[in-house]
Amino acid sequence: MAFPSQLSLGDFDHRVKRYLLPKRILQKTGTITNADYLLSNRERQVALQEGRVVTMHPQSSLLLDFGAEFHGGAQISVYQVTGEACAAFRLTFGESVSEALSDLGEKGSCNDHSARDFTVEMPSYSNNEFGATGYRFLSLHLINNCTVSIKTVQGVFVYTPYEAVGSFECSDQTLNQIYDTAAYTCHLCMQNELWDGIKRDRLIWIGDLSPELKTIKYIFGETPEIMRALMLSAQDAVLPKWINQIPTYSLWWLINLEEWYFYSVNAQYPEQLREYTVSLIRQILYNVDKNGYFMAGHFIDWPTCEQAESREGTRALLILCLRASARLCELLEETELAEKCRRVCTVAEKKTAGCGGFKQLAALMKLTSIGDKSCDETLRSNGAKGLSTFMSYYIFTAMMQVCEAQEVFDVLKEYYGAMLDMGATTFWEDFDLNWLENTCRIDEICPKEKRDLHGDHGDFCYRGFRHSLCHGWASGPVAFLTETVLGVEIAEAGCKVIKIHPNLGNLSYAKGSIATPFGKVEISHKRLSNSSIETDVHAPPQINIILE
- Please report the pLDDT score of residue 2 as a whole number: 66
At residue 363, the 3 state secondary structure works out as: helix
CA–CA separation, 178 and 417 (whole Å): 7
Alpha-carbon distances of 512 from 355, 483, 491, 539, rounded to whole Å: 35, 11, 19, 12
- Please report the pLDDT score of residue 192 as a whole number: 81
State the sign of the Cα–Cα–Cα–Cα dihedral 390, 391, 393, 399: negative
Which segments in the chain show pLDDT lower than 50? none
Alpha helix positions (H), 108-221: 173-188, 209-219
CA–CA separation, 420 and 185 (whole Å): 13
Over the Cα atoms of the chain, what is R_g?
25
Is domain 16-159 given the CATH code 2.60.120.260 in the classification? yes
Comparing CA positions, the residue from 277, 396, 292, 286 lying closest to residue 331 is 277
**Would you list the domain boundaries of the chain?**
16-159, 167-429+468-490
Domain pair 16-159 / 167-429+468-490, same fold: no
Alpha-carbon distances of 359 from 385, 399, 467, rounded to whole Å: 9, 9, 22
Q: Are strands 61-82 and 147-159 parallel, antiparallel or unpaired?
A: antiparallel
Candidates 3.40.50.300, 1.10.3720.10, 1.10.357.10, 1.50.10.10; correct CATH number of 167-429+468-490?
Answer: 1.50.10.10
- Please report the pLDDT score of residue 224 as a whole number: 93
Which secondary structure element, helix H or strand E, spans residue 409, and what is its range? helix 405-421
β-partners of residue 519 are 516
CA–CA separation, 102 and 370 (whole Å): 47
CA–CA separation, 374 and 325 (whole Å): 29
The model's pTM: 0.97
Long-range contacts of 262-265 (CB under 8 A, 24+ apart): 262/327, 262/490, 262/493, 262/494, 263/217, 263/222, 263/490, 263/494, 263/495, 263/517, 264/217, 264/222, 264/494, 264/517, 265/493, 265/494, 265/496, 265/517
Q: Are strands 451-452 and 439-440 parallel, antiparallel or unpaired?
A: parallel
Alpha-carbon distances of 66 from 96, 129, 136, 157, 467, rounded to whole Å: 11, 16, 5, 11, 20
- Please report the pLDDT score of residue 256 as a whole number: 98
Alpha helix positions (H), 164-223: 173-188, 209-219
CA–CA separation, 210 and 204 (whole Å): 11
Buried b (16+ CB within 10 A) or exposed e, 125-148: eeeebbbbbbbbbbbbbbebebbb
CA–CA separation, 283 and 239 (whole Å): 8
